[in-house]
Amino acid sequence: MIRAGTRAGTLGGLANRWGFHAVLLALGALMLANLNWTLVRSFEFAFIWEYRIALINGFGITLLLTVEAGIVGILFGTLFAIGSQSPFAPLRWLVAAYVEVFRNTPLLVQLLWIHFALPLVTGINTTALVSGIIGIGLQAAAYYTEIMRAGIQAVPRGQIEAAQALGLPARTRWTRVVLPPAIRTVIPALLNQNISFFKATAIVGLGLLVDDFFNSALRVSNDTFHFIEPLTFAAAVYLVLGWQAGRWTLRLERRLTRGER
Amino acid sequence: MTETAQDSANGANGAKEGDPIVLCRDVVKRFGDFTALDAVSTEVRVGEVVCIVGPSGGGKSTFLRMINGLEGIDGGEIVVDGIHLPGGKKDIQNVRREVGMVFQSFNLFMHMSVRQNLILAPMTARGLGRKEADDRAERLLERVGIGDQIDKYPSQLSGGQQQRVAIARALAMEPRVMLFDEPTSALDPEMIKEVLDVMRELAESGMTMLVVTHEMGFAREVAGRVLFMADGQILVDAPPERFFSEAEDERQANFLSKIL
Ligand SMILES: Nc1ncnc2c1ncn2[C@@H]1O[C@H](COP(=O)(O)OP(=O)(O)OP(=O)(O)O)[C@@H](O)[C@H]1O
Ligand SMILES: [Mg+2]
């Protein structure tokens, strides 16, 4: 039963990989056939080197936003996920409302709202970067809440009952019994989510004109009137890093599930 | 003596040998429209070993789980060493300090070593120091015969060893009453004896025990009383000699004919 399933899975995986490569080849051929070779021959990437300082600084901001999304997201996501399990119904509703609002509105809209509408409502002005940090943190918390909630609910009921029967205080029950296995099961999901936020930081750059990596690349375009090269370069950087991070996460996931039980 | 607060009106009062320590009066449990326990009344004295037997779905687990507050009470009351349930959070917490529980599926904390499993509750719920908790853990593991496994993880142990760790973990809180819900049902036959031996030793040491079990040999040898539960009621309450020789209830006779 299990064996057959595994074999079918491997066959499926093989077919997928073949399919994947076939599609890539087809797309490549299509592009090559239609390429504007005069334009392609005129490409030059060397001038990007001259903007390396700005690009590296921009990349620093991108990293800052990515890491911040991870830390704020996991911290508040965990707290909110615990709240979502509360016997106190209004707290559960509050968490549910928060999650729905921030997961079901576009990040760009949230960012613009925080940067331009919030100061009018509250009188507090923030810089574009701070607005970006707040916005991406709020959205990350919403996504991570859902991930952590799934992890918490995957902890066998018997573990919690044993903790209750032992008279463990609620706090210990959470920190020592429920959260460690819950976090362990969702680590891959948390990392994948953070890869998504790595890409989403470009929206902060463009939407709030924060000088992240993407916006820095766009500035190079503006400065040099070369539009395609910096954009292509930026895309390549996102692609390589996101792809590598994804592969690394997959490896980690395999290791974690192998070590289980 | 336990470290439980003695001054509260609803606190543990330190029942002596022979005093009632678990008292159930017309206990009712409902799941929606379904009545799982229908006015169950009984009494367990300090040092008594009571085995609970009966057909599946009869309410045995539910009854046991109500005694340590894992299930709420919908009617009647349960008094554990002077602490009344239903009660507030504090009362439930106090009852749980008095009552240890062993589950069919062990429910050890899989991400902790055996030692961590044993010292967690004494340190966080009883306020024991690390040294004291460690000593207690080592002593209890010796007692259940697996002193050499203290730094292993549960997944490295056999089922029988895991269940003995679970018993030691419950004992580490120095409970006055131990509840066992089918402690050997998930075990391979060759491991059942090692767990029953530990339970027998515990009974001989004077521990008050309520044991839901299908091990009729154990009930016959160790129990002071056997309760027969079916349809959410205690239909028979008799010493084992009588319970197994002369059925006083039709369903009991039916049950015994199937199981013996
Ligand atoms: N959480 C629950 N929700 C709904 N019904 C429940 C719940 N827990 C138990 N019941 C029902 O209550 C009745 C008694 O269940 P209980 O588990 O106490 O029986 P039991 O005597 O322990 O049976 P078994 O020998 O199979 O363990 C059963 O009909 C069961 O379906
Ligand atoms: Mg049961």
What was the pLDDT predicted at B11? 55
A261 touches chain B (CB under 8 A): yes
Write the CB contacts of B204 (distance below 8 Å, at least 6 apart in sequence): none
Find the mean pLDDT for residues A69-76.
95
pLDDT tens digits along A114-169 = 999 999 998 888 899 999 999 999 999 999 999 999 999 999 999 999 999 999 99
Residue B36 Cα, ligand 1 centroid: separation in angstroms?
A: 7
Ligand 1 pocket residue status of B60, Cβ below 6 Å? yes
B5 touches chain A (CB under 8 A): no
Length of chain B: 260
Residue A174 vs residue B16, higher pLDDT:
A174
Angle at B141 between CA B136 and CA B143, to 5 degrees: 95
Q: Determine the 3-state secondary structure of B37 from DSSP.
A: strand
pLDDT mean across residues, chain A: 89
pTM value > 0.90: no
Residue A119, preceding peptide bond in cis (omega within 30° of 0): no
What the block records as the tokens of A59 is 């990349």
- ipTM score: 0.91
Ligand 1 pocket residue status of B68, Cβ below 6 Å? no
Residue ranges with strand state E in chain A: none
What was the pLDDT predicted at B202? 96
Q: Determine the 3-state secondary structure of A53 from DSSP.
A: helix
CA B32 centroid distance within chain: 26
What was the pLDDT predicted at A260? 54
**Closest residue to atom 9 of ligand 1, CA basis:** B62
Q: From the first residue on, what is the mean pLDDT of each consecutive set of 10 residues in chain B (260 residues)?
A: 42 74 96 94 96 95 96 95 91 93 97 96 94 96 94 95 97 96 94 96 96 95 95 95 91 88
The sheet with strand B83-85 has its strands ordered as: B34-45, B20-31, B75-80, B83-85
What is the DSSP-derived secondary structure letter of residue B246?
S
Considering only the beta carbons, identify the residue of A164, A181, A261 that sits closest to B70.
A164
How distant, in Å, are the alpha carbons of A79, A83, A179 from that of A175? 11, 14, 6
Residues 137-196 of B with CB under 8 A from A: 155, 166, 169-170, 173
Which stretch of DSSP H or E encloses residue B19? Answer: none
User: Strands B34-45 and B225-230, how do they pair?
Assistant: unpaired
A180 touches chain B (CB under 8 A): yes
Residue A75 vs residue A228, higher pLDDT:
A75
Picking from B175, B166, B123, B122, the residue whose alpha carbon sits closest to that of residue B146 is B166
With beta carbons under 8 A apart, name residues in chain A contacting B70. 161, 164-165
Architecture of domain A55-260: Orthogonal Bundle (1.10)
End-to-end CA distance of chain B: 41
CA distance A22 to A16: 10
pLDDT beyond 60 at A2: no
User: Between chains, do B103 and A181 touch, taking CB under 8 Å as contact?
Assistant: no
Find the mean pLDDT for residues A249-255.
90
User: Strands B83-85 and B99-102, how do they pair?
Assistant: unpaired
Q: Give the start-to-end residue ranges of the domains of chain A.
A: 2-30, 55-260
What was the pLDDT predicted at A6? 43
User: Strands B20-31 and B75-80, how do they pair?
Assistant: antiparallel
Residue type, B133: A
What was the pLDDT predicted at B10? 54
What is the DSSP-derived secondary structure letter of residue B227?
E
Find the mean pLDDT for residues A9-28.
77
How distant, in Å, are the alpha carbons of A65, A109, A204, B93 from that of A139? 12, 11, 12, 38
What was the pLDDT predicted at B210? 97
A169 touches chain B (CB under 8 A): yes
Residue A29 Cα, ligand 2 centroid: separation in angstroms?
A: 65
Residue with tokens 């015994």: B256
CA distance B251 to A252: 56
DSSP string, A64-89: HHHHHHHHHHHHHHHHHHHHHT-S-H
Ligand 1 pocket residue status of B259, Cβ below 6 Å? no
